[in-house]
Structure 1
Amino acid sequence: MKYLLGDVPIAIVSGFGDVAIMEAGRVLGAQGFLSKTQPLDWLADMVDRMPAGEHIFPPQSANAHEIESAQARLETLSVAQRRVLLALTQGHLNKQITLELDVSIATIKAHLTAMFRKLGVLNRTKRCCQFSHCSE
């Protein structure tokens, strides 16, 4: 990014803390990634630091790895499984999902079993420890 504007530091200012966007900005030469959710005085302080060469990026944490891991697991779901997952996020019961998707209850249960296994959860509300560090 600097090759176009010389020594002018470039920062990405976003309302989303998307790990992929942060890393892309870092790789492409951005000086920082600032979140709109931070207090204005903090943002102003960070902007003041950049001309001196300081790079302003949130620290990479274990959470970033967990987010990438969760995203990868979601991408393994079939189209039908994603439809079931969307219905679950809306609080629908199995019977409601069968009516909405026009499939049998056995099909919904099969999708749920496969989804839970792929996503590393035990049921609709409880995560298992297969994919991340937890104390369960």
Structure 2
Amino acid sequence: MSNINNNGVDMNKKTLAELSFTAVKELNDEMAATCSGGDVGGPDPDVLLFKDPNQTGQSLGLNSKTGEGIANIGLDNEGNDNGFNDQTSSIRILRGSWNFFSDSDFKGQSTGVLGPGNYALGANNDNITSALRVAA
């Protein structure tokens, strides 16, 4: 069975590039994070925060585009803890470079910039409230 469009082109025998669609574009990770809302959760996180050491225990995924972040991890709009504020013991960064802070709005003690990898928090254990993506 062929799939002939209105212009007589057999869609089954062409790639997107060959069809020259101007409205179709492959998204890179940065753009995909932006389109997904750059927020807590989501199916394809850039960062995973874990409540326990060695990337174990309950986890929370974060997505954000460069220059933005999550100002209040685990806090609701009234500033009440909903389960993850000051609870992070280890981090796995999948994409980008991130900086994590002890206070909301990217203030307080910082982890410094961390790139992809697994991290124990040491002095910052159970002390993370905000996260800022600083590079792709």
Q: TM-score when scaled to structure 1?
A: 0.29
The structure whose residues are more often strand, as a share, is: 2
Q: With a CA cutoff of 8 Å and minimum separation of 6, indicate the structure with the bigger relative contact order.
A: 2
The structure whose residues are more often helix, as a share, is: 1
Q: TM-score when scaled to structure 2?
A: 0.29
